[in-house]
Structure 1
C-alpha cells in the first residue's frame, strides 16, 4: 500500500514538472526574437571582423588586408656588418597567412617562415611619436607556432632621423628608441624592455636594460598559443609590462634599469695608488713564538700497528693474482708487432678461502707523535691599517636626468630577428597614447582568439554545465530525467516494507532452532502424497529397512506400533516443510 502511494506521488511530481517545464518553454518561445534568413545571426560562433582603431593612434596593423600590407611594410635589403657574406644578408622569408590551427575566420598574421636566417622588415608610423605629456603604449601579439628553441620575437621602435629615412637599409645597427618583446635561448627566458638613453652632456646613447620580472615566462615559449604583449611608459617615468592583460613587471625608469640612467656623483680616483707600506693584514704570526724542542716535524702521520699479528692461515707464498690458465694466445697475435704474449691475470682461487695472500704487512694506525709542520700562533697586527680604498672624487661625467621618459622620437616599427624556430606569427600591432584604445583593440582581436581557443578546448561536460547555467530551467529536466528513475529503481528493487522484513526475520529464526512454527502444524487427516519422494525421504526409508534387518538378525522383535506411527507421520507431513533436525528427532 505504501509503495503504491509513493508511486502515485512520484508520478504526480513528474507530471507537474513536465507541465511547468512546458509552460516555461512556451514563455521562452514567446519572448524569443524571431530571426529571418536576412538577419543570419549565429549565436554560438565567434564572429571576427578586422578591427578599426578609434582614438589617437600612431600605428595599427592587423595584416588582414594583403594589398595594404604590401604598401605599408618594407623588406630589408641590408647586410650585417662583421659577418660572413653567406649569412650576412637579411634573406629570411616573411608571409601574410592564417594561423596553422584554431584561427578565426578572416584573421591573418605576419609569419616568419624561415629559421637560422637573418630577417628584417619594418613599417613607418602614421606620424612620429614624441615623448611629451602623453604615455606610450605598445601592444602586439606573438604566436610561436612551432615553439622556440633559440631566438627572439621582439620588436624595435626605430628612432626618427636620417638612419630611418630609407627602411630598405634597416639592420641590427639601425638606431632604435625602445626594444620590447620575448626572447629565449636555452633555459634563459626573457621579456625585453630596453630603451636607449641620450647623455645630456655629450649626446651619446647607451642601452638601459629593465630588471627581470619575478614571474616565470617559460609557458609562452612552448604552449604554441597566441600571447599579448603590452608596454606602458608614462611621463612620470613609471612603466608597466603586461602579458595577456596580466601585469608581470613594473617600476621606474630611474630605479629599475641597469646600468642606471644617472651616473653616481662620486667615483674612485683612478690615479690613486695604494702606498707600498700599506699593511692590510689583520693577523700576523707571533714573532716571539718558538718551536718546542720535542716538536718532530718529520714524524709520519701513519705507522704500522705494533699489536697486529699475521693470521695463521695467511698464504704468504701464494700471489694474489695469477695468469689465467684457460687463456689462449690469439691466432692473429704478432710477436713482432704486439710483443710477447702474456695471459691475463685473474684472482688466485687459493686465496678465496684464506684471509689473505702474498707478503703480510701490519695495518696502519694514526701516529700519536705526529704534529706536522710547526707554525707560530697568530696575533693582532700592530701595523694594520685596514682595507685600502682609493679616494673618492667628483665624477666628471656626472649628470642628473630627472625625465628619462623624454626619449628620442619614434619614426617606425621593425622586426629584426634571428631564430632557430620558424613559423613565428605576429599580429595586431598598435601604438597609441590612450589605454582605452589598446584595450578595445585587444578585445576585438586577441580576446576573441582566446575565447575561441577556450571554447574549442572545453569538454562536452563543461559545455553542458555552461549552457545549463545560462538556462537554469534545465536543472529541472535533469532531475526529472535522471533523478526520478533512480529513485523509482531504488524503491521498487531495493526497498521492502517493515512487515516483509519481520516475516523474513521470523522465518530465519525458526530455521535456526527446533521451535514449533506454523509450518510445523499440519492437519491430523491423512493426506495423499502428490509429489515424488525427495532424496531425504528415500534415505530415511533405507535407514528404516536397515534397522529392521538388524533387528531380525539379532533375533529381536520389531516394534510394529512405532513403525506404524512413523509411517503415519511420514504420510501426513510428506508435503509439509521440515528441517533435518525434526526428521532426526522423529526417527529417534
Structure 2
C-alpha cells in the first residue's frame, strides 16, 4: 500500500515475478512472458505480461493489502495491447476478494468486478463491466465498444460512492451513468398494477369507418376478363380440343375490395396506459458500489491466438491520480509506439513490394526464355526444310535428261 496524503494507491504494478502467482487449478494453463512486444514506445517501461501460447486458458493473479472502498471512489486501470491481430480472446481483469486461493483460481472463482475488452470474431467487440451483487454476477445493460487494433489502449473504470460509474478508454469517457439504472441489481421501483384493467368502453381507435360512405354502384368488377383481342387458332379442332375459350387477362377496371373511407373517431381516448404502483419487492440499497475485502487482481481468460500484453495495472481511490499516472505511463509511450509500428508496417510493405517485383521479373524472364526456345526451334525447323529442299533439287539435276 502506497499512501500519498489522503490518496491511497493499492496496486501500482512495476515488478511482476515476485507478485504474480500462476494458478495450478489446471495443468495446461498457458505460459506468460515479460516483454514489451514487437513494437513499443520504451523497451523497458512498456514491458508487460504477454500470453505466449495459442488456444490456451490463462490464470494468474497479484495480491495487495486488502481494503474496502466504502465512502470513496474505486479506480481500476490498465493497458491492453493485442499486437497479434486478435481474433478471439479476452483482455479483461478481475478484482477478487482477499480470501481467494490464488493457486486454485479458475473461471468459476467468485470475483467482485470484471472489467475490460473482449473480442471474438466480428460480432463481439465490447467492454465488459460486471459486478457481483449478493452472489450473482450482473452485466451492464449498455453496449460499450472496445478498441480492436494492435496498439496499446488504456482502460479505466471509476466506481463512485454516490452509486455512479464511468468508463474511459484512452483517458476519454465512453460511458457513464447510475449503477441502479444500468444494471439489474434491484427489482424495478414500479410495476404494473395487477388490479388495473382497460375499461370495456375504452376506445383506442384513432380512425373509424365513415358510416355515411357507400360503395359506388359500378365498383364491383371482375379481377380478370377474357382477352378481347384473342382469336381462336385456325387449326383448333373442337372435337379434339374442346370448346375454345379466350385466355384471361387482368381487368383494367378492377378496383379491388371496397372499403369505406376513414374519419377521425369522435370517441377516441388515446392508447390506454397501464397504471403503475410501487413495487412491494423493491428496496433501495445505497451500498451496491461497496466491496469490503478487495485484495487481488487477476487475469483469468481464454485466447485463441496469443500475444496480448497487459501492463500499467493500477488500483486507487483517486481519479485525478489515475489520470496523472496514465499520462506518465501510457501517455508518454503511446506516440513512440505508434510511430515504431508504422515504421515496421512501412518496411514490411516495402519488402513485400520488392518481393512481388522480383517474382514478376522472374516470371517475365521465364516467358522470355520460353519465347527464345520457341524461336530457336522454329529456326532449326526452317533450316531443315531448306536443306531438304536443296537436296531434292540436287537429286533432280543429277538424273539423265531425255533426248529430244
Q: Which residue, 93, 114, 130 being the options, matches 2:53?
A: 114
Task: Provide the C-alpha distance between the structure 2 equivalents of 1:390 and 1:451, rounded to a whole number of angstroms.
Answer: 56
Task: Provide the C-alpha distance between the structure 1 equivalents of 2:20 and 2:109, rounded to a whole number of angstroms.
Answer: 17
Query: Which residue matches 1:140?
Result: 78
Number of residue pairs the alignment of both structures matches: 329
Q: Do residues 221 (structure 1) and 160 (structure 2) align?
A: no
Query: Which residue matches 2:360?
Result: none
Decide whether aligned partners of structure 1 residues 251 and 380 sit closer, same or farther in structure 2, where only a CA change above 3 A counts.
closer
Q: Do residues 305 (structure 1) and 227 (structure 2) align?
A: yes
* CA shift for structure 1 position 384: 8.7
Query: Which residue matches 1:194?
Result: 130
Q: Do residues 75 (structure 1) and 22 (structure 2) align?
A: yes
* CA shift for structure 1 position 176: 2.1
Native 8 Å contact 1:90 1:118 kept in 2:
no
TM-score by length of 1: 0.47
Query: Which residue matches 2:119?
Result: 184
1:516-527 to 2 correspondences below 5 Å: none
* CA shift for structure 1 position 143: 1.0
Task: Provide the C-alpha distance between the structure 2 equivalents of 1:122 and 1:372, rounded to a whole number of angstroms.
Answer: 74
* CA shift for structure 1 position 390: 5.8
* CA shift for structure 1 position 265: 3.2
* CA shift for structure 1 position 112: 1.9
Q: Do residues 246 (structure 1) and 172 (structure 2) align?
A: yes
TM-score by length of 2: 0.65
Native 8 Å contact 1:75 1:168 kept in 2:
yes
Query: Which residue matches 1:81?
Result: none
Query: Which residue matches 1:40?
Result: none
Q: Do residues 429 (structure 1) and 313 (structure 2) align?
A: yes
Q: Which residue, 21, 33, 37 being the options, matches 1:100?
A: 37
SS in 2 for 1:221: coil
Query: Which residue matches 1:151?
Result: 89
Higher strand share: 2
* CA shift for structure 1 position 269: 4.2
Task: Provide the C-alpha distance between the structure 2 equivalents of 1:437 and 1:191, rounded to a whole number of angstroms.
Answer: 23
Q: CA RMSD in A?
A: 4.2
Task: Provide the C-alpha distance between the structure 1 equivalents of 2:94 and 2:172, rounded to a whole number of angstroms.
Answer: 22
Larger Rg, first or second structure (1 or 2):
1
Query: Which residue matches 2:389?
Result: none
User: Structure 2, unaligned stretches of length 5 or more?
Assistant: 237-243, 344-404
Query: Which residue matches 2:192?
Result: 268
Native 8 Å contact 2:198 2:272 kept in 1:
no
Native 8 Å contact 2:128 2:139 kept in 1:
no
Decide whether aligned partners of structure 1 residues 206 and 268 sit closer, same or farther in structure 2, where only a CA change above 3 A counts.
farther
Native 8 Å contact 2:70 2:291 kept in 1:
no
Decide whether aligned partners of structure 1 residues 76 and 292 sit closer, same or farther in structure 2, where only a CA change above 3 A counts.
same
* CA shift for structure 1 position 173: 3.1
Q: Do residues 128 (structure 1) and 75 (structure 2) align?
A: no
* CA shift for structure 1 position 398: 1.1
* CA shift for structure 1 position 110: 1.4
* CA shift for structure 1 position 281: 7.0
* CA shift for structure 1 position 395: 1.2
Native 8 Å contact 1:156 1:178 kept in 2:
yes
Task: Provide the C-alpha distance between the structure 1 equivalents of 2:339 and 2:256, rounded to a whole number of angstroms.
Answer: 78
User: Structure 1, unaligned stretches of length 5 or more?
Assistant: 1-51, 79-88, 199-203, 318-358, 460-588
Query: Which residue matches 2:358?
Result: none
Superimposed CA distance per residue, residues 491-511 of structure 1 (whole angstroms, 9 cap, x where no aligned partner): xxxxxxxxxxxxxxxxxxxxx
1:376-415 to 2 correspondences below 5 Å: 392-415=276-299
Task: Provide the C-alpha distance between the structure 1 equivalents of 2:2 and 2:55, rounded to a whole number of angstroms.
Answer: 35
Superimposed CA distance per residue, residues 213-269 of structure 1 (whole angstroms, 9 cap, x where no aligned partner): 5xx64xx312x12222122223333433222223333334344x133x554433124
Native 8 Å contact 1:137 1:432 kept in 2:
yes
Task: Provide the C-alpha distance between the structure 2 equivalents of 1:438 and 1:265, rounded to a whole number of angstroms.
Answer: 35
SS in 1 for 2:112: strand
SS in 1 for 2:140: strand
Task: Provide the C-alpha distance between the structure 2 equivalents of 1:159 and 1:281, rounded to a whole number of angstroms.
Answer: 55
